[in-house]
Structure 1
Amino acid sequence: MIQPPSRYVASEESALAHWAGDGIATPVSGDRPFMRGVNGRPTAVHNVETLAHIGLIARFGGDWFASLGSPAAPGTSLVSVGGAVHSAGVIEIATGTPITEIIKRCNGFSSEVAAFLTGGYGGAWVAATALNSSSWTPESIAEAGGVIGAGVLWALDARNCPIRELERVATWMAGESAGQCGPCRFGLPAIASDLDLLSRHSAQVGDFHRINGRLPLVTQRGGCKHPDGVARFVSTGLHVFHEEVAHHLHGHCSAQSNATSLPVPAGRKSPVSRTGKDFK
């Protein structure tokens, strides 16, 4: 058993194959691991949810597993629920379970919710009311403006400042890149810097326009999907929290608490001093 470095992009499938074969956990562009992975050979990369599915199928059979969930997305899903709920944690549900039922299984909301983060830090923000009639399937979440992504459903406490949450995560994600391409090495730190101005009520309208101009410049241009995910996280957040953005541009913040919600580890220097640093 080997353990890759504790870096966000080190968990990307090509980075894992790169780590197992060459000892450096940076994403690799081109052929996917199932085509050409460890030492140039086809490589299967599984995640926890896949292994959970295999265990259920081995125990109860394929027909039983296929009978769960929706026809378009049969089986079960692991959902990491956190934020403003009474009992946060990872729960296993039949795919297609209503969002309201997922929240009930977590013993309900612990406070008023401003919005949901779906899919994790590379995911998308959705207004709280948008998920009222949604179920946990890729199609239903997408119709509400979200993504399943890493299976995260985070309820943001309405008392917290959402702009500060955007800045904290964007800054951390900028420091988690491998520094292999321009969008990660230069684009993400620039976006994080602009968000820092906005979160501190120091941004002007022109600064906000600069953020929106930079976001499309980092998408579909990286060696992996890390910059695309960060851009989606930020752009959907700015859209969902547009009223709070307006407050900040006028030098105010409507947050009732200085507390933060989203878990963010200690950040690393951004941009990285050299490509692939800390990935060995």
Structure 2
Amino acid sequence: MPRLSLRELVALAEDVDLRGRGGAAFPFARKLNAVTDAAVRRDTRPVVLVNATEGEPASAKDKTLLARAPHLVLGGAALAAHALDASEIVIGATDGGAAERSLLSAIGEAGIVPTVRVVHLPERFITGEGGARVRGVNGETPIPPGRKVRAAQSGVDGLPTLLSYAETFAQLAVLAELGAAGFRAVGTPAEPGTVLLTVTGPDRRRTVVEAPAGLPLWEVLQHCGLNAGQGVMVGGYRGAWLAPDQAAAVAVSRQSMAEVGAALGAGIIVPLEEGTCPLGEVARVADYLATESAGQCGPCHMGLPAIARSFSSLAAGHAGAGALAAIRQGSGIVRGRGACHHSDGTTRFLLSALDVFSDDVAAHAAKGGCGRPVRGLLPVPGEVVQDSGGGD
């Protein structure tokens, strides 16, 4: 890796508008400046924290990066650490298998200064929130804090912390090696470079692909031997569903996804193949997301379980229009009222399913079901999958 000053690194990130490769897509240059300002104000050295915890059940890009290209992640983290004069690099990881062995080997080979340490965090959906990651690294329960505290102000050991995803640091390393012009050789003018996507196919088989920003989504699916099926989930369980015609027209970019009310998020793509009950599949995920609450505030602790129960009733063919009304009303009540964004992401995911699978909603509300089994195609951790009757 070339050694860049803070000014050079900020300018490089600004030149290509490098964004975090998570749901918020926060500008990386602004993070660098925020951490620098906090460190100068407090007269202390900051910390670089790499989030490689995955969190999303349908994602595999972090494990793939650590297993196949750990030097890219370490190289990007070292670039930032040198520019910030950071005291250490901390990598939050969940996998103790091949990915972690590869990472530890790479750390030994690289001889990076400052110190690099790996911290194990539980593989839970809620651990993916920034405050939860920081708390976990600090030896506390890895759940979101009740009060929002930005890592740039107070993160690892209370120090200003540059927190970003493993893919973000890998992209930073690629940017530093290629330069802005080389980085812009692929992608779109507004979103140069590539994006890592986790595409789930039949039998929950996950494929991680690197795609230029702006590539049509249908080409990604075709490359993986898939089609849009009944609809395509983008952005994971904080994301949204696309109808087949939307999936045929949208591109792999933040702008294109936003135009259809979706978000690229962490790059998760799951087409729902034919032969399974869409509402039953989504109801399983609703139950999972309700249990993944930190339990610290009413919207998550009480609101999400109630919404999940209503969704299960709708999927099972019970309560009909009443269950549908309860889902929409409950979603409106919890939205924007949680201590973190868990309730917002969950309700966006569920409401988009009601819109995309509206024919199935009507069949379940009027006839008690759609006649298809629930095959358990959407990954839910710890679940033993058995086909059920889909409300028949």
Would the TM-score normalized by the shorter structure come out above 0.5? Answer: yes
Gaps of 5+ in 1: 268-280
What's the offset of the Cα at 1:11?
Answer: 1.8
Quick one: distance in 1 between partners of 2:282 and 2:246? 20
Q: Point out the more displaced range, 220-229 or 242-251.
A: 242-251
Query: What secondary structure, in the 3-state scheme, does the structure 2 residue paired with 1:220 have?
Result: coil
Distance, in Å, in 2 between the alignment partners of 1:92 and 1:221 is: 36
Aligned residue number for residue 14 of structure 1: 131
Aligned-partner residue type, residue 253 of structure 1: G
1:132 is aligned to 248
CA contact (8 A) 2:203 2:377 kept: no
Amino acid at match of 1:59: E
2:314 to 198, 204, 207: 198
Partner Cα separation in structure 2 for residue 183 and residue 192 of structure 1: 12
Contact 1:164 1:199 in 2 (8 A): yes
Say whether 1:265 aligns with 2:265: no
Query: What does residue 43 of structure 1 align with?
Result: 161
Q: Deviations over 1:22-45 (max 9, x none)?
A: 422111232311222223321111
Q: Output the CA distance in 2 between the equivalents of 1:118 and 1:255.
A: 26
Q: What is the identity percentage for the equivalent residue pairs of Structure 1 and Structure 2?
A: 35
CA deviation after TM superposition for structure 1 residue 190, in Å: 0.4
Q: For residues 2-28 of structure 1, give each alpha carbon's deviation from its aligned partner in whole angstroms, at most 9, with x where no partner exists.
A: 111222111211111111124221112
Q: Conserved in 1, the CA contact under 8 Å of 2:204 and 2:377?
A: no
Q: In structure 1, what is the equivalent of residue 100 of structure 2?
A: none
More helix by share: 2
Moved more, 251-260 or 165-174: 251-260
Deviation of 1:83 (Å): 3.1
Question: Residues 125 and 217 from structure 1, CA distance in 2 versus in 1: closer, same or farther, beyond 3 angstroms?
Answer: same
Counterpart residue number, 2:183: 65
- How far, CA to CA, are the matches of 1:139 and 1:166 in structure 2? 26
Query: 1:210-225, aligned counterparts within 5 Å?
Result: 210-225=326-341
For residues 198 and 290 of structure 2, the distance between their equivalents in structure 1, rounded to whole angstroms, comes to 23
Partner of 1:188: 304
My pick for the range that moved more, 61-70 or 146-155, is: 61-70
Letter of the 1:152 partner, please give it. I
Question: For residues 200-255 of structure 1, what are the alpha-carbon distances to aligned partners after superposition, in whole Å with 9 as ceiling and x for unaligned?
Answer: 11123222211110001111111111111100010110111111111111233335
For 1:254, the equivalent position in structure 2 comes to 370
2:198 counterpart SS class: strand
2:262 alignment counterpart: 146
**2:162 partner letter:** A
Residue-by-residue CA offset, 1:146-180 (whole Å, 9 max, x unaligned): 21112111100122111101110010011111111
- Name which of structure 1's ranges 195-204 and 121-130 shifts more when overlaid on structure 2: 195-204
* Preserved contact between residue 85 and residue 155 of structure 1 (Cα < 8 Å): no
**Structure 2 vs 1, CA of residues 85 and 23 (structure 1 numbering), >3 Å: closer, same or farther?**
closer
Number of matched residues?
265
Displacement, 1:135?
0.9
8 A contact 2:199–2:268 mirrored in 1: yes
Give the C-alpha shift of residue 86 in structure 1. Answer: 11
Q: Distance in 2 between matches of 1:87 and 1:21?
A: 34
C-alpha distance in 1 between matches for 2:303 and 2:270: 26
1:52 to 148, 155, 170: 170
In structure 2, what is the Cα distance between the partners aligned to 1:63 and 1:141?
Answer: 25
For residues 57-86 of structure 1, the C-alpha deviation after alignment (integer angstroms, 9 at most, x for no partner) is: 243333211332112111111111113599
**Residue 50 of structure 1: how far off its partner (Å):** 0.7
The DSSP-based 3-state class of the residue aligned with 1:180 is: coil
Alignment of structure 1 residues 154-173 onto 2, 5 Å: 154-173=270-289
Secondary structure in structure 1 of the residue aligned to 2:264: coil
Indicate the larger mover: 88-97 or 21-30. Answer: 21-30
Are residues 86 and 230 of structure 1, via their aligned partners in 2, closer, same or farther at CA, if it must alter by over 3 Å? closer
Determine the C-alpha separation between the residues in 2 that align with 1:94 and 1:142.
Answer: 17
The correspondence for 1:3, drawn from 92, 114, 120, is 120
Letter in 2 for 1:194: S
Report the equivalent of 1:271.
none
Please tell me the residue identity of whatever aligns with 2:211: I
Aligned-residue RMSD, C-alpha: 2.0
Contact 2:234/2:262 (8 A) holds in 1: yes
